[in-house]
Structure 1
Amino acid sequence: MGGHAPDREQDDLAATARAALVRRIDASGAWATDPVWREAFAAVPRHLFVPYYYVGVAGGYERRWGESPDPQARERWIRGAYEDTPLATRLRDGELLSSSSQPSLMADMLAALRVEDGNTVLEIGAGTGYNAALLAHRLGDDRVTTVDLDPEITESARRHLAAAGYQPVVVTGDGARGVPERAPFDRIIATCALSTVPRAWIAQSRPGGRILMPLATGLVVLRVSDATHAEGRFLHTPAYFVPLRGGSRPGGEPLQLGGVPRRAREDDLFRFLLALTRGTLDPQEAHSLWEQEGRPQRERYGITVSGDREWAWLDDPEGPYAWPLPT
């Protein structure tokens, strides 16, 4: 018999911890608009997707893993797997390469995707496979495709999914190109940050489809009208994701924030505007706009893609405040 003797104990502990996580997400209101997700989070065993992860400690990271010979360490691993926090799953030279997102943020994103029975979904960024399992639990394996550039990530996602009893289609490839051979999709969800909307995703969406993606420390939900047009607004939720590898990377030169008051510099909503207008507004202009418009929340901003043009805007796609995005 493989594994450690008290496997039953481990399963019971996992079930109790999972039920507590579900109650916590319930209390956050994340799936209030689509309570069907509650059942998926209650059923899918997150600990099977994070056989080990890293927890920040003074001076670096400590590894927690399910095969530790110490029963208390295994218990800490299970309890940690069901905390409502992101878990670092892959590090290289101290740099975070991959993580399992915070479950309540995943619930927020899945609810905002407005999945309907029978939908086909493409996930960009396979991560541990946990998000694909939640989708497969709801829609069925054959309706879910997940793609990642890194063969090590897709291989381990496949392994975790099989261990949990799910078999969605896992593809190794550049997520920015989508997965044309599985298109068209009703929904596309990205779990990595981008600085622009990949045209392939719009082309591979059905008219009326939805694309949800992290951009500029926010989450934008686009409604696709045809193969070259999509538009939508940001959710209120802040979101910080590892950038998509292989696609265009957010970043560039550090911004010169001289003349911007410290209060604004440290404000999450101002930093969002800075990230959104990078390369078109200098920080001082962004600051006067931000003050003049009453320090707008994320949901007042949106993105429009029309043919080969793509721009961010405040309040109105055709209004006075619009900024081209890098193409």
Structure 2
Amino acid sequence: MGAYDTETDALAADARAGLVREIDAEGIWDEAPVWREAFAAVPRHLFVPYYYVAGPRGYERRWGESPDPRARERWVRGAYADAPLATRLRDGELVSSSSQPSLMARMLVALRVEDGNRVLEVGAGTGWNAALLAHRLGADDLVTTIDLEPEITESARRHLEAAGHRPVVVVTGDGARGVPERAPFDRIIATCALPTVPRAWLAQCRPGARILTPLATGVLALTVRDPAHAEGRFLPTAAYFVPLRGEVRPEPLGVSLAVLPGRVREQETFRFLLTLTRHTLDPREAGALWEREGMPGRERYGVTVGGEHAWAWLDDPEGPYVWPLP
């Protein structure tokens, strides 16, 4: 990664300040203002030296070292937009991205990181999220990030070193298996979508640890009781992530919603329920439940992991609405 000119650095600093103000205005950091300082201090553009923007003719590549100053300005302004950025494509498929900054901020606040916590991030991406975690913790050897793709982990490692942040251990491997040699963890955060909660994560956590993971277009926050048990609820916000690449892969929904009235099938919270219960409820059953229960938001749902079994539930883990997870 080359050094950027003074004009680009100044533009980046101004754009970063604007992004921080934008996220701050949403009140996301009210509960944990320490993250405001982390976002202000860790420059996103150093972690996305290039990215892709979808357009009418396919993806346009934006590059921080373009010889065209106008192109460099578009790149740096885009790097600080509150939007996800496609950072790696393969045969037209999105393989890796930098998540939407405001969603990252919400997840980091919900992770409830405390001083001295050992944190595992599943899905290294560009390395920016790991850098934010390392900046927050302010001590060496506390953050581990893992990704299956060697190209992704190598670029994340380069970005972290070039940005000059505290050491982060970058591991190439299947994130669903965790990183047992770096355990035990106090916090685990995934930045890729999974169909269930990998049991290996619980075994690598201390009792009382917190796990935050995307699941069924939502974000699940679990508290670990012991190596075989955990429970928690979904955050209210929607979340769409690149699927985890490894031995645990989500299946496509693969059902027709034509049997449902438009007032149901077009609602995002209904689609969340249908995705969460894909192995149990068909669209008609899911639609009837969703309307009968008052169109519940994500925060009314939760997940319990008990030994080899895991199940999702509405309102109460022992209530009438429970559905098995893989």
Equivalent runs, 1:141-156 vs 2, <5 Å: 141-156=140-155
Tell me, in whole angstroms, the C-alpha distance in 1 between the residues paired with 2:246 and 2:20: 34
SS of aligned partner of 1:171: strand
Question: TM-score, structure 1 length as denominator?
Answer: 0.97
Q: Distance in 2 between matches of 1:258 and 1:72?
A: 46
| Contact 1:49–1:129, Cα closer than 8 Å, also in 2 | yes
Structure 1, unmatched stretches of 5+, are none
Check conservation: 2:84, 2:98, Cα contact below 8 A. Answer: yes
5+ residue gaps, structure 2, are none
* Distance (whole Å) between structure 2 residues aligned to residue 256 and residue 3 of structure 1: 51
CA contact (8 A) 2:178 2:201 kept: yes
Equivalent position amino acid for 2:260 in 1: V
Aligned to 2:128: 130
Within-5 A mapping of 1:86-101: 86-101=84-99
Q: For residues 90-239 of structure 1, what are the structure 2 equivalents within 5 Å? A: 90-139=88-137, 140-166=139-165, 167-239=167-239
- Identical counterparts, % of pairs: 76
Question: How much does 1:257 deviate?
Answer: 2.1
Give the Cα–Cα distance (whole angstroms) in 2 for the partners of residues 112 and 309 of structure 1. 25
CA RMSD of the aligned region, Å? Answer: 1.0
Q: Does 1:243 align with 2:215?
A: no
1:24 equivalent to 2:14? Answer: no
What SS is found at the alignment partner of 1:142?
A: coil
- Is residue 312 of structure 1 aligned with residue 312 of structure 2? yes
Measured after TM superposition, the shift of residue 92 of structure 1 is 1.4
Structure 1 equivalent of residue 50 of structure 2: 52
**Structure 1 CA distance, aligned partners of 2:247 and 2:262?**
33
TM-score by length of structure 2 reads 0.97
Q: Which residue of 1 aligns with 2:260?
A: 260
Q: Equivalent residue for 1:72?
A: 70
Following the alignment from structure 1 to structure 2, what is the Cα–Cα distance between the partners of residues 130 and 228? Answer: 31
- Aligned partners of 2:174 and 2:308: how far apart in 1? 21
TM-superposed deviation, 1:279: 1.3
CA distance in 2, matches of 1:124, 1:141: 19
> Contact conserved, 2:253 with 2:278, CA < 8 A, in 1?
no
Tell me the alpha carbon deviations over residues 259-315 of structure 1, each in whole angstroms, 9 at most, x when there is no partner: 211221111000000000001111101111101000001000000000111000000
Shift of 1:3: 4.9
Once residues 17 and 43 of structure 1 are traced to their aligned partners in structure 2, the CA distance between those partners, rounded to angstroms, is 13
Q: Structure 1's 204 and 3: CA in aligned 2 closer, same or farther, altered over 3 A? A: closer
1:253 CA displacement? 5.6
Task: Please give the alpha-carbon distance, in whole angstroms, between the structure 2 residues aligned to 1:253 and 1:123.
Answer: 27
1: distance between equivalents of 2:295 and 2:263? 12
- Aligned AA for 2:235? L
In the alignment, is the contact (CA less than 8 A) between 1:194 and 1:247 conserved in 2? no
Which residue is equivalent to 1:291? 291
Give the C-alpha shift of residue 84 in structure 1: 0.5
Matching residue of 1:276: 276
Equivalent position SS for 2:318: coil
Amino acid at match of 1:42: A
* Structure-2 separation of matches of 1:253 and 1:185: 33
Q: Measure the CA separation in 2 of the matches of 1:43 and 1:28.
A: 19
Cα-to-partner distance string for 1:134-164 (whole Å, 9 max, x where unaligned)? 0011113410000001000000000000011
SS in 2 for 1:69: coil
2 CA distance for matches of 1:100 and 1:11?
A: 20
Aligned pair count reads 323
Is residue 141–residue 169 contact of structure 1 (8 Å, CA) maintained in 2? no
SS in 2 for 1:153: helix
User: 2 CA distance for matches of 1:54 and 1:134?
Assistant: 23
1:13 aligned residue (2, 11, 19): 11
Give CA-to-partner distance per residue, 1:176-198, whole Å, 9 cap, x none.
00000000000000000000100
**Structure 1 segments of 4+ aligned residues over 3 angstroms from their partners:** none
2 CA distance for matches of 1:266 and 1:141?
Answer: 47
